[in-house]
Amino acid sequence: MTHSSAGYAAHDRATCVSGVMRSRRTVRAFRTQPVARELVEEVLKDAAAAPSGGNMQPWRVYVVAGPVKNILSAAVLAAARAGKGLPPAHLPDPLPEVFRGRMADFGARYYASLGIDRSDVEARARQTERNYSFFGAPVGLIFAIDRRLKPHSWIDLGLFAHGVMISAKARGLDTCPQVSFAPFHHAISSVLGMPAEEVTVFGMSLGYGDLDAAVNRAEMPREPPECFAQLLGFPT
Ligand SMILES: Cc1cc2nc3c(=O)[nH]c(=O)nc-3n(C[C@H](O)[C@H](O)[C@H](O)COP(=O)(O)O)c2cc1C
């Protein structure tokens, strides 16, 4: 059977999208090479193609570079060191066993890649603080949403953020999504002048990854579809 040229184009597109999605990794060490503003704008246009309930497009994003990024990082670090963060609210207590197991596996791989012993509380705290300087990336993003919206609109924000990460990857850039900014909404909103109705949901580092850095070589495995999906009603 021969493929039509449209068939080849669709196949090439699928291979290309699949390659980008499966090769994206969270990157936590970056080169100093700056990211052009035009490139950031293209990434944001791609991400804004995300679907959203009722096309409400509830995403808000602050993109910081240069001195603004440095001021933001310093403010969050100061708030963290002064113990001024909100208690982390993104995980339930207790965390169900299945998730606790995966998180423990993540921690073991992450700290092993850094040569940090898991019992070394100080070294782990220093590594956590590196979040606030966007792991040395030249660009930082803060994702926010109108706090009056319901959880379904937060899904839209997540879809938008995934678009940022995939578009960035396709353009040779790397990212690290970071919930660790969420407890510091107060410090972040003062630096960025956010309106009162907005809440910080997470941050993200953006730049050219330092692929020689050991921390960027940690493999984070995924469960195969048979572990999370049920395919029903297909002919066998
Ligand atoms: C919403 C969200 C928040 C995250 N927060 C952090 C964070 O604060 N710091 C960090 O180093 N990684 C953070 N990560 C990255 C995850 O640890 C990473 O996505 C996961 O281990 C899978 O690895 P991979 O992205 O390389 O496939 C976050 C990821 C997501 C999606």
CATH number at 34 reads 3.40.109.10
d(CA 27, ligand 1 centre) in Å? 9
Strand order in the sheet with 60-65: 60-65, 139-146, 198-207, 174-178
Inside any domain, residue 61: yes
d(CA 222, ligand 1 centre) in Å? 13
Inside any domain, residue 17: no
Inside any domain, residue 70: yes
CA angle 29, 35, 36 (to 5 degrees): 175
Residue 138: asked if its preceding bond is cis (omega within 30°), the reply is no
Inside any domain, residue 187: yes
pLDDT for residue 7:
83
Which atom of ligand 1 is found nearest the CA of 27?
26
Which residues of the chain register pLDDT less than 70? 1-3
Inside any domain, residue 153: yes
Q: Could you give the CA distance from residue 226 to residue 220 in angstroms, rounded to a whole number?
A: 18
Q: Could you give the CA distance from residue 231 to residue 236 in angstroms, rounded to a whole number?
A: 11
CA angle 199, 204, 209 (to 5 degrees): 175
pLDDT for residue 4:
73
Inside any domain, residue 111: no
Inside any domain, residue 172: yes
Inside any domain, residue 22: no
Q: Could you give the CA distance from residue 20 to residue 166 in angstroms, rounded to a whole number?
A: 7
pLDDT for residue 3:
60
Question: Which residue segment(s) compose the domain that 138 sits in?
Answer: 28-90+132-218
- The number of folded domains in the chain is 1
Could you give the residue ranges of the DSSP H alpha helices within 82-150?
97-114, 121-129
pLDDT digits (tens, 9 = 90+) for 142-186: 999 999 999 999 999 999 999 999 999 999 999 999 999 999 999
pLDDT for residue 1:
45
Pocket test for ligand 1, best of 26, 143, 157, 206 (most atoms within 8 A of CB): 26
